[in-house]
Amino acid sequence: MRRLCFSKRAWMVPLALAASLFLAAQAPSPAPVTDQETELGNAVYKELKDKGMIIAKSILYDSLTPVTTTIARVAQPRYEHPFKFYLVHDPRPNAFSVPGGGVYVTDSLLYFVKNTEQLAAVLCHEVSHTIHHDAMNRIREMKKAYARAIGATILLGPTLANVIAAKIITDLHTNAYSREIETSADLTGSDTCAAAGYNPYGMIWLMQDFKEANPDQGPQLLADHPSFDARIRALQSHFRDDPGVFSNFSPDRKLAAPFSVSEDAPVVFLR
**Residues 161-190: tens digit of each pLDDT:** 777 777 777 665 555 678 889 899 999 999
Q: Does residue 260 carry a pLDDT above 60?
A: yes
Per-residue model confidence (pLDDT) at position 104:
96
Q: What is the band of 158 on the pLDDT scale with cuts at 50, 70, 90?
A: low
Task: Please give the single-letter amino acid code of residue 2.
Answer: R
Residue 21 lies in a domain: no
Residue 271 lies in a domain: no
Would you call 212 exposed, middle or buried from its count of C-beta atoms within 10 A (0-12, 13-18, 19+)?
Answer: exposed
Nearest C-alpha neighbor of 57 from the set 10, 89, 103: 89
Structural domain contains residue 6: no
Q: Given pLDDT bands bounded at 50, 70 and 90, which one contains residue 271?
A: confident
Cβ-based neighbour number of residue 244 at 10 Å: 6
Q: Give the amino acid at 135.
A: A
Could you give the percent of the chain with pLDDT greater than 90? 60
- 178 or 245: whose pLDDT is higher? 245
* Residue 75 resides in a domain: yes
Q: Can you tell me the distance from the alpha carbon of 240 to that of 53, in angstroms, rounded to the nearest whole number?
A: 41
pLDDT tens digits, one per residue of 92-126? 898 999 999 999 999 999 999 999 999 999 999 99
The region of weakest confidence among 77-81, 214-218, 251-255 is: 214-218
Task: Tell me the CA distances in angstroms from 21 to 17, 59, 61, 213, one per residue in order.
Answer: 7, 7, 11, 32
Amino acid letter at 66? Answer: P
Task: Give the C-alpha separation, 200 to 178, whole Å.
Answer: 22
| Secondary structure element (H or E) that encloses residue 86, with its range | strand 84-88
Domain count, the chain: 1
Assess whether pLDDT exceeds 80 at residue 40: yes
Position 150 in a domain:
yes
For residue 142, the enclosing domain spans 28-259
Average pLDDT, the chain: 83
Q: Is residue 2 part of a domain?
A: no
Candidates 25, 102, 11; CA nearest to 56 is 25
Average pLDDT over residues 11-39: 68
Domain membership flag for residue 10:
no
Helices and strands: H and E segment counts in the chain: 11, 5
pTM, two decimals, is 0.84
With bands split at pLDDT 50, 70 and 90, how would you rate the model's confidence at 238? very high
Identify whether 198 is part of a domain.
yes
